[in-house]
């Protein structure tokens, strides 16, 4: 059986696609990659929140999937919108890598060590508000582009520090660059897992990739993605969620914040793992009641 994988062209995206390709080839499948440029790859000088959000990294790939030019797409799960186009589904979610963010800086060891007024590069509203809460004296500037581009800008002295996802840094073999793992930051929904997207009616591909699904990672993703879906699923609002299983319970912590980090609403819940959707929905409803709804209305310009 021949399988065609659609992927973006960045080094990290190619690493991820080749990782899945190799696993499928070990099972005896013939696999080829089709490289696709997405809107998110073309527009690099504007924050994602201003140009349409995370769907910009998957739209063209999903269109190729629907046209049957490819059989599956490999995405970073955190880039996959809550609502998928009709006819598509997530066929597998891979075992999750470390889900947290990392600080990378040339001259300092931690966020706490950065001098007053230091410039921190990140385009993520989620990361920005968490920096503001801990170090309101730091200067935040937009930083987009692939991992290599961001690291180059740090080396050129345009930033004193940058924040990236641990998973991407590790997959690129750059762990030695990490100054600090930000375990006290709540990660992006799905950060650290790969999502394999397929056509709903493609039973052969669904069966071929089924072994790639990691059940615990899937359950954690369902809780986080349900939470975000209940909030509207956009990236114009600073939101984070992190689920884990401990002591037989699925646990979820999450937050929603205004853009200035003045109202930062954090919550926690736990449930049996088979009730992942209920856990995500319940925690979202709790934070909406506590003022999250007002934050959403303000950010989206409603009354």
pLDDT higher than threshold 70 for residue 44: no
pLDDT higher than threshold 90 for residue 155: yes
8 A C-beta contact, residue 92 and residue 213: yes
Best CA proximity match to 284, nearest among 298, 299, 273, 295: 295
pLDDT higher than threshold 80 for residue 66: yes
Known catalytic residues are: 79
Superfamily of domain 2-94+193-213: Periplasmic binding protein-like II (3.40.190.10)
Give the pLDDT mean for 171-192: 97
Locate the domains of the chain by residue range.
2-94+193-213, 101-182, 224-298
Best CA proximity match to 122, nearest among 75, 156, 158, 91: 158
pLDDT higher than threshold 60 for residue 52: no
303 confidence band (pLDDT: 50, 70, 90) = very low
User: Whole-angstrom Cα distance, residue 303 to residue 293?
Assistant: 11
Q: Does 2-94+193-213 match 101-182 in CATH topology?
A: yes
Q: What is the 3-state secondary structure (H, E, C) of 59-104?
A: HHHHHHHHCCCCCEEEEEHHHCCCCCCCCEEEEEECCCCCCCEEEE
DSSP state of 123: -
CATH class of domain segment(s) 101-182: alpha beta
Superfamily of domain 224-298: Porphobilinogen deaminase, C-terminal domain (3.30.160.40)
pLDDT digits (tens, 9 = 90+) for 247-277: 999 999 999 999 999 999 999 999 999 999 9
pLDDT digits (tens, 9 = 90+) for 98-136: 999 999 998 999 999 999 999 999 989 999 999 999 999
């Amino acid at each position: 059986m021949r399988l065609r994988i659609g992927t973006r062209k960045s080094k990290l995206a190619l690493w991820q696609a080749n990782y899945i390709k190799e696993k499928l080839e070990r099972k005896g499948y013939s696999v080829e990659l089709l490289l696709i440029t997405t809107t998110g790859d073309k527009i690099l000088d504007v924050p994602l929140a201003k140009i349409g959000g995370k769907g910009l990294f998957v739209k063209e790939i999903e269109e190729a999937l629907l046209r049957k030019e490819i059989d599956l797409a490999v995405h970073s799960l955190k880039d996959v919108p809550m609502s998928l186009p009709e006819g598509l589904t997530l066929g597998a979610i891979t075992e999750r890598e470390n889900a947290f963010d990392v600080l990378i800086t040339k001259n300092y060891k931690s966020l706490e060590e950065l001098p007053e007024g230091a410039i921190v590069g990140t385009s993520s509203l989620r990361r920005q508000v968490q920096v503001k809460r801990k170090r309101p004296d730091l200067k935040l500037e937009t930083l987009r582009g692939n991992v290599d581009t961001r690291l180059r800008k740090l080396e050129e002295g345009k930033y004193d520090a940058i924040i990236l996802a641990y998973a991407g840094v590790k997959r690129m073999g750059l762990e030695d660059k990490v100054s600090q793992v930000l375990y006290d930051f709540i990660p992006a929904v799905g950060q650290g897992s790969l999502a394999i997207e397929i056509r709903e009616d493609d039973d052969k591909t669904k069966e071929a990739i089924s072994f790639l699904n990691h059940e615990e990672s899937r359950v954690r993703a369902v809780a986080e993605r349900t939470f975000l879906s209940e909030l509207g699923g956009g990236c114009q609002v600073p939101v984070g969620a992190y689920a884990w299983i401990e002591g037989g319970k699925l646990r979820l912590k999450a937050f929603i914040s205004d853009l200035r980090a003045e109202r930062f609403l954090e919550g926690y819940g736990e449930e049996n793992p088979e009730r992942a959707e209920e856990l995500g929905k319940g925690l979202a409803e709790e934070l909406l009641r506590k003022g999250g709804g007002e934050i959403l209305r303000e950010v989206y310009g409603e009354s």
